[in-house]
């Protein structure tokens, strides 16, 4: 089989025993550095991707993706209003919502919460039904005044299943001989959920009709229309939609945008820090290549006297140096994929649980494009690190190098 001469000699240099053992050690060390860097990047970023996706599912499924409302008044005849809206790309469904900020009161505690009025016959957050570990979602019926609360809130209020608590809302307050009195009503705890997010502490779910009665809204009135999106991060369609006069659109970014921006920034910063491992390994490749050039000056001089041109000399040492990066990137990627896939089993083996609070396991999500960027980025960095030593090799003067041979 035909090989280019530079590739053939460069590969021979990677396998040959060197006269200087320290050069071999540095070369092996640089390969190990690339391997560790690529492996760490894949494992950590895959876990961060899984964490981001899990938080996206848990948080954004429990809060409205986008809401169309009229700040001046409630929304009447929502069915007709929803039917009159144009077809919006990316919108899965449009449902009514009856949300209001309120207080929840027990005999000993008073906490601020957000009431979400849901309509189980139209739509229920999937994570809510799957995260309900006490009670029954079907108990939330119109006129029954049942409420679902988070586990953290239940612990603070010291309430359990079938206990009573009072919901108090300033919306719908009335004037009385004693002054302005907020709207309030007793509700029975029908279920307790654990979403693994701040919703466990500050959100409660009731039937939409019970929420509108608490706010004393007219019949068939709601506080707004809730848009269920295919991808909550793709808001272009709803932002470009034309709304009826007097209505405004708000989305999840107003309440949780900073949280996801912080997750993204943390993932980027961790990625940059781990890239430094690859960069240090690339510097090791550079230093080992410089020492190899010094060790092989005599052989380079012989090749040049036999007629080998400078580009071919450069190719030899670039192949030799890049080989460490290629090996490190490939084996690092394989170990990283295996380590990320079995990370929960590995931690269980050592008795470590870093995600016990929610689900008990670290979430892992592989991003194929991201993994390819890591692999080829490490290879490219290794290749660039070899250029200067290879150029120095091409500048060897045969007469000077062979004078004392």
| Number of structural domains in the chain | 2
* Boundary of a domain, candidates 197, 225, 251: 251
Note the pLDDT of residue 147: 92
Note the pLDDT of residue 335: 93
Q: Where residue 1 falls among pLDDT bands split at 50, 70, 90?
A: very low
- The β-bridge partners of 175 are 180
Same domain for 21 and 73: no
Same domain for 53 and 34: yes
Rounded to an integer, the average pLDDT of 75-89 is 81
CA distances from residue 76 to 73, 80, 215, 219, 365 in whole angstroms, order as listed? 9, 9, 14, 8, 43
Note the pLDDT of residue 400: 64
Rounded to an integer, the average pLDDT of 23-37 is 76
- Tell me which of 229 and 180 has the higher pLDDT: 229
Same domain for 231 and 177: yes
The tens digit of pLDDT for each residue in 99-157 reads 888 999 888 888 999 898 888 888 777 777 778 888 888 788 888 899 999 889 999 99
Same domain for 22 and 86: no
Per-residue tokens: 87:
């077809």
Same domain for 271 and 242: no
Judged by average pLDDT, the poorest of 17-26, 63-72, 135-144, 363-372 is: 17-26
Closest C-alpha to 271, from 41, 46, 52, 47: 41
Same domain for 182 and 268: no
Positive or negative: CA dihedral 108, 113, 117, 123:
negative
The tens digit of pLDDT for each residue in 230-283 reads 888 888 888 777 777 778 888 888 777 787 888 888 888 888 888 888 888 777
Rounded to an integer, the average pLDDT of 54-65 is 80
Same domain for 280 and 202: no
Q: What percentage of residues in the chain have a pLDDT greater than 90?
A: 6
Note the pLDDT of residue 187: 93
User: Looking at the predicted structure, is the pLDDT value of residue 337 above 50?
Assistant: yes
* Boundary of a domain, candidates 222, 251, 280: 251
Domain interval for residue 168: 65-251
* Boundary of a domain, candidates 221, 251, 281: 251
Note the pLDDT of residue 17: 52
Rounded to an integer, the average pLDDT of 181-196 is 87
Per-residue tokens: 47:
């876990």
Same domain for 197 and 139: yes
Same domain for 70 and 44: no
Same domain for 369 and 310: yes
Same domain for 90 and 20: no
Same domain for 352 and 287: yes
């Amino acid at each position: 089989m035909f090989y280019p001469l530079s590739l053939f000699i460069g590969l021979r240099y990677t396998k040959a025993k060197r006269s200087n053992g320290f050069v071999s050690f540095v070369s092996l060390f640089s390969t190990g550095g690339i391997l560790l860097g690529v492996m760490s990047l894949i494992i950590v970023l895959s876990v961060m991707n899984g964490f981001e996706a899990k938080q996206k599912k848990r948080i954004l499924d429990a809060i409205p993706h986008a809401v169309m409302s009229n700040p001046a008044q409630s929304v009447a005849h929502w069915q007709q209003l929803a039917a009159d809206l144009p077809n919006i790309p990316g919108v899965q469904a449009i449902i009514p919502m009856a949300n209001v900020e309120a207080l929840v009161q027990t005999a000993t505690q008073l906490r601020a919460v957000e009431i979400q009025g849901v309509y189980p016959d139209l739509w229920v957050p999937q994570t809510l039904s799957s995260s309900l570990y006490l009670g029954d979602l079907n108990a939330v019926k119109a006129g029954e005044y049942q409420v679902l609360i988070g586990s953290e809130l239940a612990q603070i209020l010291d309430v359990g299943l079938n206990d009573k608590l009072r919901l108090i809302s300033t919306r719908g307050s009335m004037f009385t001989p004693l002054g302005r009195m907020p709207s309030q009503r007793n509700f029975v705890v029908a279920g307790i959920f654990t979403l693994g997010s701040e919703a466990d502490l500050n959100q409660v779910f009731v039937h939409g009709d019970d929420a509108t009665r608490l706010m004393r809204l007219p019949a068939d009135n709601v506080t707004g229309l809730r848009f269920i999106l295919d991808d909550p991060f793709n808001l272009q369609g709803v932002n470009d939609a034309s709304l009826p006069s007097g209505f405004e659109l708000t989305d999840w970014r107003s309440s949780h945008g900073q949280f996801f921006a912080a997750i993204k920034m943390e993932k980027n910063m961790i990625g940059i820090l781990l890239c430094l491992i690859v960069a240090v390994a690339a510097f090791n490749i550079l230093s080992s290549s410089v020492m190899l050039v010094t060790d092989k000056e005599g052989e380079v001089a012989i090749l040049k006297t036999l007629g080998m041109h400078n580009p071919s000399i450069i190719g030899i040492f670039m192949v030799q140096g890049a080989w460490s990066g290629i090996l490190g990137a490939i084996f690092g990627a394989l170990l990283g994929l295996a380590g990320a896939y079995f990370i929960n089993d590995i931690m269980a083996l050592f008795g470590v649980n870093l995600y016990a609070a929610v689900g008990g396991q670290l979430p892992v999500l592989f991003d194929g494009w991201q993994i390819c960027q890591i692999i080829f980025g490490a290879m490219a960095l290794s290749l660039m690190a070899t250029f200067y030593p290879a150029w120095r090799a091409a500048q060897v003067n045969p007469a000077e190098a062979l004078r004392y041979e």
